[in-house]
A and B are shown apart, each in its own frame.
Chain A
Amino acid sequence: MLPKLFFTIASIAVIGGALLGMHQHRLQTLHAMADLHVQMDADRKATWDAQAKIAEGTHPVALQEAVQRIGLDLEALPTPDADAEPPTLWPNPNHFAHAPEYVPPRD
C-alpha cells in the first residue's frame, strides 16, 4: 500500500511540477510576447523614420542634381496608365451641352 501511496504522491508531485513548469513557461512566453510587442512597436516607428528620411533624400531636385553629377542617361518610364484608353467614347447625343439641335452626324 505504501508504494502505491508514494507512487500516487510522486505522480501528483510530478504532475504538479509539470503544471507549474508549464505555467512558468506560459508566463515566460507572455513576457517574451510583451517584449516582442514593444519591439514591434519600436520597429514600426523606426520604419516611419526611415521612410521620412528616404522621402527627404529623394527630392526631385536633389535626384536631378545627382543624376547630372554622375552623368546617368535616364530613359523616361511611362506609368502603367499612360497607355490606357482615354474615356472619350461618344456619349449620348443628349449630352451635347450647348447646341443639341445642331448635333452633327457621328464621325
Chain B
Amino acid sequence: MTDPPPDPVSTEPSAVVPDTGVDTDRADRRGRKRVVPDTEAIERSSRRVLRVGRLAMIAVTVVLLALLGRVYQLQSSPSPRIAALVESQPSTRELNARRGSLVDRRQRVLATTRVAHLLFIDPDIVENPNTFSEIVGHSLGYDPAWIEQQLFKRRGSRYIVIDKQMPPETYELYRSSPELRSLRGLSSHPILVRDYPKQQLAGQLVGFIGHEGNGLDVRERAYNDRLAPDPGQHAFVYDRGRNRLWLANQDYKLQADGKPIRLSIDLNLQTIAEEELAATVEKFEGESGQLIVMDPRTGEILALANYPFFNPARLRNEQGQITEATKNTQRNRAVTYVLEPGSIIKPLVWSASIEAGFATPDEMIDTTDDGMYRPERGPMLKDSSYGPGKGHGVVSYEEVLVQSSNIGMAVVAARMGMDALHKILDSYGFGRVTGSQLPGEVRGMFRPVSRWSYTDLTRMPMGHGIAVTPLQAIRAFAALANDGVLINPTIETAAEQTDEERRTNITARVLSPRVAQHVREVLGRVVTEGTGRRAQSDLYNLFGKTGTAELPDLENGGYHKNLYSSSFIAGAPIDQPRLVVGCFVHRTPKRHVGGPYPHNGGVVRGPAVKRVMERSLTYLGVPTKQPENEANDAIAQRHP
C-alpha cells in the first residue's frame, strides 16, 4: 500500500507492476495494450463488503446476545403468565411401592401385594346417562339401574366408584373392549391390594392390614415397620395435547419396596398340622384347638395351627365390615389362651426332681392300692383309675411317670417343698411371655410361692393350679428334647442367622443332657406302654406325655363336670429329636366316641400327633427306624 498506484491512461511502463494475475509480459511482446486492474475499485468494494460484514456480524451478535438474554430471563425470572404455564405442564404422580411379602421358610408366599383396578365414573362428561348405564352394566355385569341411580343421585360429583376392586376377569373385559375404553366418563385406575394367596393357611399367623395399608394384626402388625413401603413420586412434562414428553427434573423420588419377612413356618408342615387338627377337633366334638410343631434345637415354630381357621382373604363381608365371628377366629389362641396343663407338666417336675436329687428313677413309691391318697394336709388325691384294687400300688418312680400317677408325683413333691417346686416351674418359663414376639401373648397364671397353699404343692406336679399357654407348654417340653436347654420360640426363621445369633436365643439350661436323655427314654415308654399308646408309631420312636384337665367353670366356680381340655405333646426321634409336636383340644365332652374315655389326651390327641409326626418327619427326610421300602409301604397304607 506504500507504492503509488499506476496511471491507467499512461502508456509508459511503470517501474513496478503489481501482480494482478494478468500476463503483462506476453502482452507486451505481442504489441497489445496492457490491461491494468482497477485496484481502487476493488479496494472500495472490499471495504464495503467488510463494512457490511461487520455490520452483519454485529447485528447477528446483538441478536444472539438478545436471544441469550431472553433465554436467561426465561430461565431465571419468567413473566407470571409463562411461569404459570410452565408449572402446569409437569404432573406429579405417586410411584407405587410394594409392601413387603411374608414368605415361609422355603420362600413360599403367604401375603403379598399386587395391583388391582378401581372402576369409576365421571358424570360430568357422560354424554348420555341412559345408554351409558346400560352399556356399562350389561358389558361388565353391574346393575344398570344402580349405575343410573348413582349418576342422578350424585349429580355434580366427578368421581363415583362403581367397583373398588374389579375382579380380574371384569378388568380384562373392560381392557379388551374398545367400546368401553372409548366411552366418555368411564375410567379405571390401578390400586395396590394385599393378597393372601394361601387363603386360610396360617391365617392367624399372617394377620391382616387395614384400609390405610398398615398391619392390624399378628405378623402384618408386628413387622409393620419392616414391611411398610416408602412410595416415591415422579413428574412428567406434557405438551399442550397432554402427550407425555419426559420426566421433569424436580419432584423425583425413587420408591423403596418393603422388605420381605421370612417366617420360620413351613407351609407343607402347616398344611399337615391344619388337616390333622381339624379332623381331630371335629371328630371329638371339641370347640377349638391348637397344634404346634417346633424345632427344639432352634426354637423355630415350623407350624402353628388354630382351629377354627381364619381366612384373612375373606376378612370383611360385602358391607366391608369385620364380623364378630371373624374377630373370634382371628385370635392366635396358641399365645392368647391359657389352660391348666394337666399331666403334661409331670415330666418337667419328674426330671427336675431327678436332677436335684429328690428322687431316683428306680426308687419305689407307694401310690396306694386303691388309687386314693390323703396328703398330710389338704383334700384327698386320686389317680385316674381309683377304687379297690385299681391303684398302681408300689411302683418305681419311673413307673410313676409312665402310668401318670398323680399320687406318686405328689409324694415326691412333698419332699421337695414349695420353694424348690416353684423354682423348678419358674425355670421352665411359666408365668412369663416366651419371647416369641407373637402379638397378644399372655403370661399365663403362675402365682408366687408366697401365695401357695399346701394343696398347691401336691396339685402343681399334676398340672393343676397353674395356667399356661399352649406355646409355653411346648416350649418347656422342647427343653427335654434339646438336651435340657430352654430356648425361646421364634416365628422368624433362624436359617440366615449365625451360630452366635442362634445361641443368644438360649434362655437357660434346665436339665443336664444325661437327665434329659433319660426322661426321653421314660417318655418313650409312655408311648409304647403308658397313657400315650395310641401315638405309637411304626416309623419313628416317639416320646411324649398326655394331659387331660377339667375346665374351670367361670360362672359357677369349680370345674365343669363334662368338659375337658385334652393335650398331648410328643417329640421324635428319641435319640436325636428333630421335632416336638403339641396338640391341644378344648372343651371336649365326656362321651363315648370310639373308646372308653374319648376326652383323654392320649385318646383325643395321640393319633393326631402321631400322624403329624410321621408325615412331618418323612417330609423333612428324617430316616425312619425301618428299611425304606417298608417305611414307604407303611406311609402309603396310612395316608392313601
B352 interfacial contact with A, CB 8 Å: yes
Tell me which residues across on chain B come within 8 A of A2, comparing CB atoms.
49, 53
Closest A residue to B577 by CB, please name it. A86
Contact pattern, A 47-59, Cβ under 8 Å of B = 1, otherwise 0: 0110110111011
Contact of A45 among B190, B618, B619 (CB under 8 A): B190
Tell me which residues across on chain A come within 8 A of B352, comparing CB atoms.
98-99
Let me know if B426 and A41 touch, CB within 8 A: no
Q: Which of B176-198 contact A (CB under 8 A)?
A: 190, 195, 197-198
Would A96 and B499 be within 8 Å (CB), given that A76-B619, A76-B620, A82-B620 are in contact?
no
Tell me which residues across on chain A come within 8 A of B502, comparing CB atoms.
87
Let me know if B271 and A61 touch, CB within 8 A: yes
Let me know if A98 and B114 touch, CB within 8 A: no
Q: How far is the CB of B66 from chain A (nearest CB, A)?
A: 16
A71 interfacial contact with B, CB 8 Å: no
Let me know if B114 and A96 touch, CB within 8 A: no
Let me know if B298 and A48 touch, CB within 8 A: no
Contact of A87 among B106, B506, B618 (CB under 8 A): B506
B473 interfacial contact with A, CB 8 Å: no
Tell me which residues across on chain B come within 8 A of A5, comparing CB atoms.
49, 53, 56-57
Would A87 and B298 be within 8 Å (CB), given that A37-B247, A58-B108 are in contact?
yes
Q: Which of B94-118 contact A (CB under 8 A)?
A: 95-96, 98, 101, 105-106, 108-109, 112-115
Contact of A33 among B247, B420, B619 (CB under 8 A): B247
Let me know if B621 and A59 touch, CB within 8 A: no
Q: How far is the CB of B336 from chain A (nearest CB, A)?
A: 26
Q: How far, in angstroms, from A4 to B530 measured CA to CA in the complex?
A: 114
Let me know if A55 and B620 touch, CB within 8 A: no
Contact pattern, B 596-618, Cβ under 8 Å of A = 1, otherwise 0: 00000000000000000000001
B527 interfacial contact with A, CB 8 Å: no
Q: How far, in angstroms, from A33 to B246 measured CA to CA in the complex?
A: 7
Closest A residue to B244 by CB, please name it. A34
Q: How far, in angstroms, from A107 to B505 measured CA to CA in the complex?
A: 23
Q: How far is the CB of B483 from chain A (nearest CB, A)?
A: 5
Q: How far, in angstroms, from A95 to B513 measured CA to CA in the complex?
A: 14
Let me know if B620 and A78 touch, CB within 8 A: yes
Would A88 and B98 be within 8 Å (CB), given that A48-B115, A98-B427, A104-B512 are in contact?
no
A97 interfacial contact with B, CB 8 Å: yes
A27 interfacial contact with B, CB 8 Å: yes
Let me know if A97 and B508 touch, CB within 8 A: yes
Let me know if B112 and A55 touch, CB within 8 A: yes
Let me know if B512 and A107 touch, CB within 8 A: yes
Let me know if B96 and A59 touch, CB within 8 A: no
B424 interfacial contact with A, CB 8 Å: yes
Q: How far is the CB of B71 from chain A (nearest CB, A)?
A: 12
Contact of A89 among B234, B494, B503, B505 (CB under 8 A): B503
Q: How far is the CB of B113 from chain A (nearest CB, A)?
A: 6
Q: How far, in angstroms, from A81 to B105 measured CA to CA in the complex?
A: 10
B542 interfacial contact with A, CB 8 Å: no
Q: How far, in angstroms, from A85 to B245 measured CA to CA in the complex?
A: 59
Tell me which residues across on chain A come within 8 A of B428, comparing CB atoms.
97
B423 interfacial contact with A, CB 8 Å: yes
Tell me which residues across on chain A come within 8 A of B244, comparing CB atoms.
31, 34-35, 38
Q: How far is the CB of B59 from chain A (nearest CB, A)?
A: 12
Let me know if A87 and B621 touch, CB within 8 A: no
Let me know if B355 and A86 touch, CB within 8 A: no
Q: How far, in angstroms, from A35 to B245 measured CA to CA in the complex?
A: 9
Q: How far is the CB of B512 from chain A (nearest CB, A)?
A: 5
Let me know if B234 and A37 touch, CB within 8 A: yes
Q: How far is the CB of B473 from chain A (nearest CB, A)?
A: 17
Tell me which residues across on chain B come within 8 A of A75, comparing CB atoms.
621
Q: How far, in angstroms, from A88 to B267 measured CA to CA in the complex?
A: 27
Contact of B197 among A1, A55, A88, A99 (CB under 8 A): A55
Q: How far, in angstroms, from A10 to B514 measured CA to CA in the complex?
A: 99
Q: Which of A57-107 contact B (CB under 8 A)?
A: 58-61, 64, 75-82, 85-91, 93, 95-99, 102-104, 107
Tell me which residues across on chain A come within 8 A of B234, comparing CB atoms.
37
Q: How far is the CB of A24 from chain B (nearest CB, A)?
A: 12
B331 interfacial contact with A, CB 8 Å: no
Would A102 and B355 be within 8 Å (CB), given that A34-B246, A37-B234, A58-B108 are in contact?
yes
Contact of B495 among A30, A79, A88 (CB under 8 A): A79
Tell me which residues across on chain B come within 8 A of A77, comparing CB atoms.
621
Would A60 and B201 be within 8 Å (CB), given that A77-B621, A88-B485 are in contact?
yes
B486 interfacial contact with A, CB 8 Å: yes
Would A34 and B199 be within 8 Å (CB), given that A51-B109, A98-B427 are in contact?
no
Contact of B195 among A27, A31, A52, A87 (CB under 8 A): A52
Let me know if B355 and A88 touch, CB within 8 A: no
B482 interfacial contact with A, CB 8 Å: yes
Let me know if A59 and B298 touch, CB within 8 A: no
Q: How far is the CB of B418 from chain A (nearest CB, A)?
A: 13
Would A60 and B268 be within 8 Å (CB), given that A97-B427, A99-B355 are in contact?
yes
Let me know if B198 and A59 touch, CB within 8 A: yes
B540 interfacial contact with A, CB 8 Å: no
Let me know if B201 and A87 touch, CB within 8 A: no
Q: How far is the CB of A22 from chain B (nearest CB, A)?
A: 16
Q: How far, in angstroms, from A5 to B515 measured CA to CA in the complex?
A: 106
Closest A residue to B97 by CB, please name it. A44
Let me know if B618 and A76 touch, CB within 8 A: yes
Let me know if B620 and A86 touch, CB within 8 A: no
Q: Can you list 7 A-B pairs with a CB-CB distance of less than 8 A?
A: A51-B112, A55-B109, A59-B199, A77-B621, A87-B499, A89-B503, A98-B352
List B residues at the A interface (Cβ < 8 Å).
Answer: 46, 49-50, 53, 56-57, 95-96, 98, 101, 105-106, 108-109, 112-115, 190, 195, 197-199, 201, 234, 236, 244-247, 267-268, 270-271, 297-298, 352, 355-357, 420, 423-424, 426-428, 482-483, 485-487, 494-495, 499, 502-503, 505-510, 512-515, 618-621
Q: Which 7 A-B pairs have the closest CB atoms?
A: A76-B621, A86-B297, A97-B427, A98-B427, A55-B197, A30-B246, A55-B109
